Amino acid sequence: MNKQSWIGTCIGGRYRLETLLGQGGMSHVYLAEDLKLKGKKWAVKECLPVEADDMTFFLEEAEMLARLQHPQLPQLVDYFTTEDGKGFLVMDYIQGPTLQDLFEEKGRELPVAKIVHMAFQLCDLLHYLHTFQPRPIIYRDLKPSNVMLNEHNQVRLIDFGVARHFKHGKQSDTMQMGTIGFAAPEQFLGLQTDARTDLFTLGSMLYYLLSGGQYAYITQKPLEQIRTDLPEALTSMVRLLLQEHPQNRCQSAMEVKMRLRSIYSESTAAPEALNLQTPFITSTPDKLIVIGGLFAGVGATFMAITLARILHSLHIPNAVVEQPTIEPDLVYAPLRR
């Protein structure tokens, strides 16, 4: 059955496919209505195996997604196969444009501040994947069309079709996959991919976005020759990420994040350099703020929520986590004689 033939059909006993959201070489993604939970919409991904009777990749992706628990990664809610051997993943439907859509809509010119802020978030996502237990996950296909943005400019990483677990001691990947223009050299040389592979693709994507849609492997030019207005710290970081040999690149997503943080720090001193209307929100170092009260009802929760709202109004990302107990950590009981 071709991709259009699925439209209007009910699969898995409860998901009616309404329209095609996107397609790639290995999958088609549909918007589906949940016939059991009325009004609920899901993104249903039809996975196309390399061979008609080979569901290995489908099962690997399903098992991988089922274990991921991150608010900016797709949440898998169901998966199944049909009688003819097709595999389907049911995931939360993320509304909003892809980064590629936004890039095209804006004439392939986005504010540098916005691009760097998205990269900052992607570093956190890659760090989560690269430190995932029991085995790190290598995404392998970072590109603008696999990044979605919500109304608050938070990134969501989608499509784990070519992601894989990293195995120490393995000399090569089973298959060489990636998108030409963004993929790292080792992906096409039959070599082992690791966290530094994802960092190369991050550098490729930054080069693409900052250069107005040019590919580093085609231009063979340093980014600073194309954009003379960019901070040197930014262009040098992109150059470092795009090194051919993995050992010459940044070695972790957190290293990239720290370099980005230095760019933010510089921009707060000279915001006009990045055309900023307000200071960069992430120039503020990560902090853990603990608010506690000795007794229930003294207002600790109210104070925490108030502080969170103030930080939100200043566009500073934050999260409020309340200790699930009403018992005080410290009890004062005077001694009785």
Could you report the per-residue pLDDT of 54-73, keeping only the tens digit for each?
567 777 777 877 888 888 88
Q: What is the pLDDT of residues 230-250, one digit of tens each?
A: 999 899 999 999 998 888 888
CA separation for the pair 251, 264 (Å, rounded) = 21
How many Å apart are CA 162 and CA 147, to the nearest integer?
Answer: 15
Q: Using CA atoms, how far apart are residues 217 and 205, in angstroms rounded to an integer?
A: 12
Which position has the higher pLDDT, 215 or 275?
215
Radius of gyration of the chain from its Cα atoms, rounded to whole angstroms: 23
- Please check whether residue 49 is in contact with residue 41, taking contact to mean a CB–CB distance below 8 angstroms: no
Query: DSSP character for 90?
Result: E
Can you tell me the distance from the alpha carbon of 245 to that of 315, in angstroms, rounded to the nearest whole number? 38
For the question of residue 141 being annotated catalytic, the response is: yes
Both tokens of 9, joined, read 């059909």
Q: Give the span between the Cα atoms of 149 and 156, in whole angstroms.
A: 6
SS3 78: strand
CATH of domain 10-92: 3.30.200.20
Count of CB atoms situated within 10 Å of the CB of 206: 25
10-92 against 99-282: fold identical: no
Among 53, 78, 141, 329, which one carries the catalytic annotation? 141
d(CA 236, CA 232): 6
Domain boundaries, the chain: 10-92, 99-282, 287-337
pLDDT in tens, 5-52: 678 889 898 999 998 887 766 678 889 999 999 889 998 888 765 454
CA 3 to chain centroid = 27
Options 1.10.510.10, 1.10.287.40, 3.90.1150.10, 3.40.50.280; CATH for 99-282 is: 1.10.510.10
pLDDT category of residue 285 using cuts at 50, 70 and 90? low
> What pLDDT does 215 receive?
93
Q: What are the CA-CA distances from residue 15 to residues 88, 89, 266 (Å)?
A: 11, 11, 50
Residue with tokens 């195996």: 49
